[in-house]
Structure 1
């Protein structure tokens, strides 16, 4: 027998140090909280849009909130993969979120688009910050890859919303 194979313990191979887990889960939970705020805001617009743009915007917001719900699930499950606890209440989401929801009046349809554009732009910056931090301080390639994928999806939404603003 020419060589001896050493099998790594799965736990050693997969799980990160607790400090790294908390660091990663913190970033993921912040994105989870912000996505929750964006989801609720998008649902609000979907339910309350009126006027000549109603049909197109109603369909656009429907598509966006369904995508956001999927992103929520991905983020929460990734928090669990790194052995964190995913935020699970609106109270916790609001406390952690840095995105702020609309309060009070329902904006005009063109302002709904502008507000979502601003919120998605903010999300893009948050994703970039999280990716840079995880690249610098961890070797969690799974989370980095997922965040890069979600970043590209948010950037596409920013482009689409910006295109709608250009028409106004």
Structure 2
């Protein structure tokens, strides 16, 4: 999928390096959007004895993801390119599956979401060094490190919540 430049950004990073970073950010944006959608689905459809607490929990989580979506899209624009913004683009760019659990209990939703958070964590961790070293973009490396830490915390909360189901 073509990465379309919005404006020339003279920020000390070669265009080819900015394009490489933006390619990674586009996938991250798509992953964040899919994870956000799946978390919203959990919020809307969770059932069971823990309904209220998990309904509130999922709402807090999709709120965090909504912030990441906006920040990643704006980072792409800061680097001089257009952000993807259609569901079709997100589905093509994402490394996550558009799936949902067979059941509507909190553990089933959390299991699916945890797997996605873990995928996002691994992708970001693999990308940090390339952004800083290979592409001369320490700003994006620092930016995604913050997102990595937030996903690690979200995954920890899911993992701890699932402990009773092991």
Question: TM over 0.5, yes or no?
Answer: yes
Query: Which of 20, 24, 44 in structure 2 is aligned with 1:23?
Result: 20
CA distance in 1, matches of 2:93, 2:147: 20
CA distance in 1, matches of 2:128, 2:144: 7
Unaligned runs of 5+ in 2: 1-7
Query: Which of 81, 89, 104 in structure 2 is aligned with 1:92?
Result: 89
CA distance in 2, matches of 1:140, 1:24: 8
CA distance in 2, matches of 1:35, 1:130: 15
Q: Shift of the alpha carbon at 1:135?
A: 2.3
Aligned residue pairs total: 158
User: Do 1:48 and 1:106's aligned partners in 2 also have CA atoms closer than 8 Å?
Assistant: no
Q: Shift of the alpha carbon at 1:105?
A: 4.6
Query: Which of 51, 55, 62 in structure 2 is aligned with 1:65?
Result: 62
Are 2:13 and 1:32 aligned? no
**Segments of 4+ moved more than 4 angstroms:** 103-106
Unaligned runs of 5+ in 1: 1-10
- Residue 4 of structure 2 is matched in structure 1 by none
CA distance in 1, matches of 2:117, 2:106: 17
CA distance in 1, matches of 2:76, 2:21: 8
CA distance in 2, matches of 1:17, 1:98: 27
CA distance in 2, matches of 1:41, 1:12: 34
Secondary structure at the counterpart of residue 49 of structure 2: coil
CA offsets 1:57-110 (integer angstroms, 9 cap, x no match): 101100010000000011000001111211111110000001012158554321
Secondary structure at the counterpart of residue 81 of structure 2: coil
Alignment TM-score, normalising by the size of structure 1: 0.88
- Residue 126 of structure 1 is matched in structure 2 by 123
- Residue 4 of structure 1 is matched in structure 2 by none
